[in-house]
Structure 1
Amino acid sequence: MYQVTIFVLCFIAIEWIQASKIVDTKTITEKQDHDVVLVCRFEQLNKGDRVMWSKDSVILSVNDEIAGDRKRYEIIDKYNLMIKTVAEQDSGKYLCQNFDQRVSMNIILTILTRPSKPDIQQANKSLIENHSGKFLCITQGGYPPPTFTWLINQIKINESFYNVRSDTRQSYSELNLPMEKRFHNGLLTCHVENQALDTPLITTYTLNIEYKPEVRLRHGQKIVSNSNLLVVEDDRMTLQCEAESNPPILKPVAWLKNNISLSDMNSSSLILSNIKRNDDGVYTCLASNAIGHSQSSVHIRVQYSPMIHLDGGGSINENEKLTLTCRVDAYPSIDYYQWYKNHQKLNTSSLTSSIVIEKVSKEDSGIYICMVKNTLNYFNGSSIEKYNKTQTKVTVNYAPKVRTFDSIVAVDLLTTNVKFQCEIDSYPESIVTWRFNNNNVIFNSNKYSIVQNKSLSYLTIQQIQSNTDYGLYSCNATNNLGYNSTTIQLRSKAIPESPTDLNVTNIDYSAISLKWKPGFDGGWPQSFWISLDNSIWKETNQTFYTFTNLQHLEYYNITVRAYNELGQSSTVAFLRVQTKDVPVRKEDLPNIEHSSLELSEKLINYRLNDSSFMSIKVPLCIRIEIDNETNICERIVTSSGVLRFNENNLNNNINLSICISQYENYCGESIPVQIKRDTSFNWVFLVLSSIITVALLILCGLGIFCFLTNRKQQRNTNLSRVIASDKAPSQNQVISTKPVIPTTNRYID
């Protein structure tokens, strides 16, 4: 009966659908396996109205009666249709109809379905470095169609490397990725996601990339491929060749030096046990597998201490060009060059490998040393400095240079053993001859004696016999480079020659310093008279003198005359000189702010104006005047201080003034000195006087006390005798009838 009723209602509903009015259309989207409630609501829904649900013209329910699968459909809240655990086939158009009011509403339900777990498939037979690898990520089903994301080693791959294709049954993404060695054993990941998934579906694929060997050279703990490896000569070195490849290498590695095979080296370790400089070169390790071959190289640079050779030197003539070159074989290059001559350091640049002297002289002869230094660096970071040096001897040949110590010799007739001396400087050694008046050659004889060593020649005249022995004696030297001579005049003793070359060596506002060149002394010791304006004459044995206490800006005429035992020179050396101006005016000299004299200590305390004292740049002194007579001018270096005064008569007027040192007449204002007399109390004298006074008073008191005590004892004795006489008189004694009354009672106790 129930089925018949439903059938009848269905027939009626089909007929009614064509006449009902659609009042609303809704769209609902829900994820797969969720429950969904389709709500049917009309504005004027009466309690008794009949409502029917259908899907794609298939009736699902009438009122609360379910016509379909009761496990999946349920009417709730009287008119709402709940679909349990929705699936893909539940998507469609649902119709809710009100028979009584002849209205209806559409609900379009869309079910979001999950795709299947993706699968990654490798399209290439093998993956090879620097080739493109093709991969497919495939998933089944899913609505809406899923999206794909590729990652390698958790790093997202750019979308330009893959594309996505979808149909109703399956979706897939095709990835074309260039293979790199760094991707080997890496994880290729495919992410699939759509709106039905709470989290993406993930699958991974481990890459097996084949690549040719990657060769590295290791020294110790450091990779040294494609670099310079510094080693030190005579050290030991091990170079390790490491080859990483997939598939493994086919045969042992090969070693090359400067692109030439080292046939005896087939181990992965290259050992140089005793490094020599010819081991320097480019070393290469070569490895191969089925994919290809690779190599790695290192330039082993052998460091060694300098080997040097000095070009130039030997014998060279004066004024020729001398070139000394220090040729060095070293690695690393030289840090610096240092040149020495006769073990004395020369002032040359540290980069100077050559010394060039355009015109050599005899002073350039000597031993020249070239010393060089470089620095060898070890692999561990330490270093050592290496030095080497070599030398050469330079001998300069030059013509003779002849000089004498005395160009004039004055002696009297009959003087014996008159000796001349000349010094010869030459290389090679010279032949020396002596001549008289440039004509006659002198030989050893009874009159002459010639003695010669390497650099000195002596001519001795045994006795000056006559005036004919006076004249010019020349010393002549000759070698293969030239000739030279000097002359000695022999004459009788005479007055001295005049001084020459009178010059000023120093001049200021109060002093002039002079020097001059003495003439020949005439054969006797000479002295000099120095005159200042022909009024001041000074005598000296020196060839210099200084006049002091002069006036500033004054002209002075100075003459110097020589004299000896025979008289004075015929002429004088003359010079006219003006002294300089004083660098400070008198009114600018520092003021004395305070001065005092302590008589007991004989000390003068002074204090100057500090700012004016510091501004003066000339030495100053304090002039002390007693009764307007200058006593001394003490040099001062500070603006305040103490001067010790040795004068005995200090009760007169004492004045101080500031003067320029060594120019005591140029002074500032004179001020009197305050004299402090000694009024201090002598406590020692007071104490001694007090002690003596107290002692005297004590002695006086003791004397008075002793005197009074003695008198008292005498009175008492006399009184006792009187009393005794009264009590026992003798028979011969006349007894007085009157009592004995003392004249005073001050002695009676």
Structure 2
Amino acid sequence: MSIQVQYPVSNPIVTVNNRSISTGFAIREDRLVHLNCFSAGYPQPSYNWTYPGGRSTGAFLKCAFTRNNGSVSCKAYNVMRTLDGTNSTEAEEKNIALNIDVLYPPVITKLSSNDKNVDINNSTIRVQRGDNISIVCTSDANPPATVFWNGQLSVLSTLTVTSVQHDALWTCQAKNNMTEFDGVISTSSATRNISAIVLYSPDVQRLQNQTVLLNTTLTVLCNLTDVGNPPASNFSWIRKDNGKVMSTGQTLTIKNIRLTDEGEYQCNASNIMQPITNEVLYGLSQSTVYINVEYGAYVRVFKANQSNNSIVVNQGETVDLVCDADGDPEPVVRIMNTTRGNESILVEIKGNEAKYHIKQANCEYDIGNYTCSAKNHYNEKRQLLALFVYCSPRTSPFSPPVTTLYRAPNDNVLFTFTIIAYPKPTSQDIVWYKRYADSWRLLSDDTNSVVAISDDSMQTQLNIFHVQLKDYTDYMVNVSNKWGSTVQVFTLKAQSKPEVPKEIQVRRTGQTEVIIEWIPGFNGGESQTFTIRYKALSDGSWMVFPINISHYIWTIDGLKFGTTYQIQMMALNTIGQSDWTQEIKITTLFDAGGAAGVVIIVAVLVVIWRHRRRGLITTKHCRTKRTSLTKYEDLIRGQGNNDASTTDGSYAICRIESSQSRNANQLETLVELESHDFSIMSACYAQRDNTTSAKISASGQTDVSTTDPEYVNLQLFPN
């Protein structure tokens, strides 16, 4: 027999994800879980689930919960049957209800402020610079979140900002930790930003005072160090002394500026600020600039003794120079003497008027041009005034003449004479003279000389071209006006290196010596000496020795007999030296023994005697050296001078020339020679000064041949 014992359901038990739950549980929002409801009873219980938003049957329930769901319940029940199988009218049921704690992350629900000047609109606020701000951040979360503002030191849900200055972005953050029924812990947070738009006035940069030149254009820009928020949109320039609006733009421009434009100007920059209220607020910034109008310096008047442009005074009178000038900035005023191209400053001041007092006007130093100068950093202006002082002509102390000039022949020479005089002399008042011997002769222009006079007649010049010997003399210029006259004497002297000695030749040849003679060239205006050099043809080196004499004959001894020599010479003075002469060649005599020498001497004497007996034509050339410049003229010009009264430096040359051929066989005995008259040789010797002092040999010894006067200056020339 089968017995079925029926009994009512027991109190149901609910598990969540296989975890038993008695009274309730905590679960994160939207988490899907499995709930199982179990109860004991016979017949088998049936189950009904009631949960927020719906019902279901069966022991199992799969669902997720949203915030604020409240609770969930499970009902277990059964119906007992009779033996015949019909249902009992009595049914048994049991219920279990669970409280659901739905966890969810924070949500920032509100940003608010109690300040009437702050209105939060779409997470944006508009405030004026300098305002204080207080904003409360509200959040919703389960469990409740911790609310704070990023960057703020304290953890508070209220943001406090004192005297806000700039646009900013602030962030509110809410954070919570959620622990579920099964021990799962999660952290969540939420943030919300709020932007602050700070409204403020523009800031005008401090303007610098302006300095501008008269009649130019001035432009001043009203710069902003901060354009403001919103940016400045209105500019204006106002002249402060009369309130006149000069410009409505950011730039002030004054064209062709005048002195009346000088003054203080103000730049205004503004914007329109409209915060949360309907009240219109204007932001304004200002800066001022002073415009200083300057102008260049100029001379109002420059006068002397109340006279402008020019003035004439007598020697010794008083002259007062006054210069009145103006300029901004204040000019430097000078009174200067600018007569000779130099700017000699007489007085200098910084101001408007300069004065200079000439106690006694002087022709040399006070006559001329005076200049008043007014100068500032813009320009310099000048005004001229001429001062004349009556006086006779006189030498200018500023250009003293060079009265003595040295020039070589064929050079050019220029004598210059600068004067000071008033009234100025005319060209007829300037006369040049040239000295001839002891008299002055009027000098007129010719091909050799030209007289020039400057345009102002204050300078005259004598120009001599290609100087000749006759030009080495004195010159005089006479300058006059109605007050008097002055003269100046100039001297032209020669000064150059000497000319090359002329006509160097051998006067006599011996076995170991030769006697040479020459004609000096022009000495260049200075005393000249001579240098002789010689060498044998077979020898490459010259023997050189100077001759400090004024005679023009010299003995070279110490030579080798029967040897050919080359001989040259040159002249020297303090200026320089001439070129060497063309070389001459001479061969010394051979040593033929004593008898041969006697025969040669006898032969020479016989020839001389025969020429005299036959009345041969002879010529006698005696050259003398002059001691002064004029005495050189004959030598330079190639003219002979037979003046018997020669100086100590003179010498005589007797040259016996024959137009007939000499007969080599015409020899006479020595006895015959002794009985004849040697008148020609004696006459020549009588003209000659003592030349033995000039016959110092190259070795410094006196040539013994000079003791025989018949051989001195004797030279035979074969036809």
TM range (shorter): 0.3 to 0.5
Bigger relative CO (Cα 8 Å, ≥ 6 apart): 2
Output the TM-score relative to the length of structure 2: 0.35
Output the TM-score relative to the length of structure 1: 0.34
